Amino acid sequence: MITGTHRPSKVLVDETAILHNIQHAKAQLKDDTQLFAVIKADAYGHGLLRVARVTQAAGATGFCVAILDEALALREADYTIPILVLGIISPETAALAATQTISVPVGSKAWLEAALPVLQANPDQPRLRIHFALDTGMGRIGFREVADLIDAVDYVKAHSQWFEIEGIFTHFATADEVDTTYFNSQVDKFHQYLAALPERPKYVHVSNSATSLWHAACNGNMIRFGVALYGLNPSGRAIPETPYQLEPALQVVSELVFSKIIHAGDAVSYGATYHAKRDEWIGTVPMGYADGWLRRLQGFHVLVDGQFCEIVGRVCMDQFMIRLPKDYAPGTPVVLVGTSGDEKITLQDVADYSDTIHYEIACSLAERLPRESINPIK
């Protein structure tokens, strides 16, 4: 997709906020606990390489990504610290991962059996670093029976020329909820798996952001620090208290490109779903659902000159309209996420109105929106 550098709509990323969030998290950890920054999905919409640079400078000792291509992009950019792919990769790409010293999850012996001939066809490469994934209740990937895990461990030992067991992990489904019943059941299952292992691997990890914030006793010796590094509360509003203040890193801004007065009864946008009740000033903002500003945000608001301005009519693909308190000239700043005057709109506010989570709002912001750093760090 083409990036729209010649229009005023953009995403601003506060590098200092990311730095502070990482440093706060590290201050809570035991000395022997590693922090891997989760920078999948273009770093939750904040920019993969930007966030990689900032988090490494802040003390992250590794990266987690979702797909192999993200890991390869980091290696291409000369990042040499450990990288763990969190999703199952094709066995056909096992040799590529091994060559680039990229760690991958394994959730079945069948995957190992499929990857082995691929690795054997490339005898000069390093061993493939694997993390055994355990499905303790997430229902996504991983071993579901202790016996199956032990069978896979034995298979790796029998083919230790090609595989290296580097880690073991699980993922909690409800670490961000007040009720800990299901969370505790997953913890118990994970401990059953660990007790059955003949020896612990280098990395034992279960903690996403939520677990590191509210269940630090479970951290193991590595945490996968994700949404909180961007200053977002993993629970939304369910658990407002956090051990340290999270500093949001992302802002979305634009400008007015047009304004006009409409009269009582005049309609705005597709479907004529909005009609003015009186004479009103209407401004146009050059951003729409193709940029990730969702169509369902009709009726929500943005900030202009420190004032909330309602989005009127349906959000279009590339533009949307707002009701202004008075006439404002083209070029007047519009804040979609961030602060204007004494007022603020957060990603959580946008998510609440959209009946979703802030993760989805951040990840939906399209590549067409340029990302620019503010408060950059070296």
The pLDDT tens digits for 197-206 are 999 999 999 9
pLDDT tens across 230-255, in order? 999 999 999 999 999 999 999 999 99
Domain boundaries, the chain: 15-230, 250-345
Instruction: Point out the catalytic residue in the list 10, 40, 203, 274.
Output: 40
Q: Which CATH class is domain 250-345?
A: mainly beta
What is the pLDDT confidence band of residue 81, given thresholds at 50, 70 and 90? very high
pLDDT mean over 221-228: 97
pLDDT mean over 309-334: 98
What is the pLDDT confidence band of residue 164, given thresholds at 50, 70 and 90? very high
Q: Which CATH class is domain 15-230?
A: alpha beta
88-95 long-range contacts, CB within 8 A, separation 24+: 88/133, 88/141, 91/115, 91/118, 92/118, 93/68, 93/118, 94/118, 94/119, 94/128, 95/119, 95/121, 95/122, 95/125, 95/128
Count of CB atoms situated within 10 Å of the CB of 262:
19
Is residue 123's pLDDT more than 90?
A: no
pLDDT mean over 68-73: 98
Span between the terminal Cα atoms of the chain, in Å: 29
Query: Annotated binding site for substrate, which residues?
Result: 140, 317
pLDDT of residue 53: 97
pLDDT of residue 72: 98
CA dist., res. 62 & res. 36, Å (int): 4
pLDDT of residue 378: 76
pLDDT mean over 8-34: 96
CA dist., res. 229 & res. 21, Å (int): 5
Is residue 1's pLDDT more than 90?
A: no
Assess whether 270 carries a catalytic annotation: yes
Assess whether 157 carries a catalytic annotation: no
pLDDT of residue 281: 98
pLDDT of residue 203: 97
pLDDT of residue 107: 98
The CA–CA distances, whole Å, from 288 to 76, 98, 254, 256, 367 equal 33, 42, 11, 13, 13
- Which H or E element spans position 104? strand 104-106
Instruction: Point out the catalytic residue in the list 157, 260, 270, 344.
Output: 270
Average pLDDT value for the chain: 97
86: CB partners within 8 A, 6+ apart: 38, 40, 64, 65, 66, 105, 224
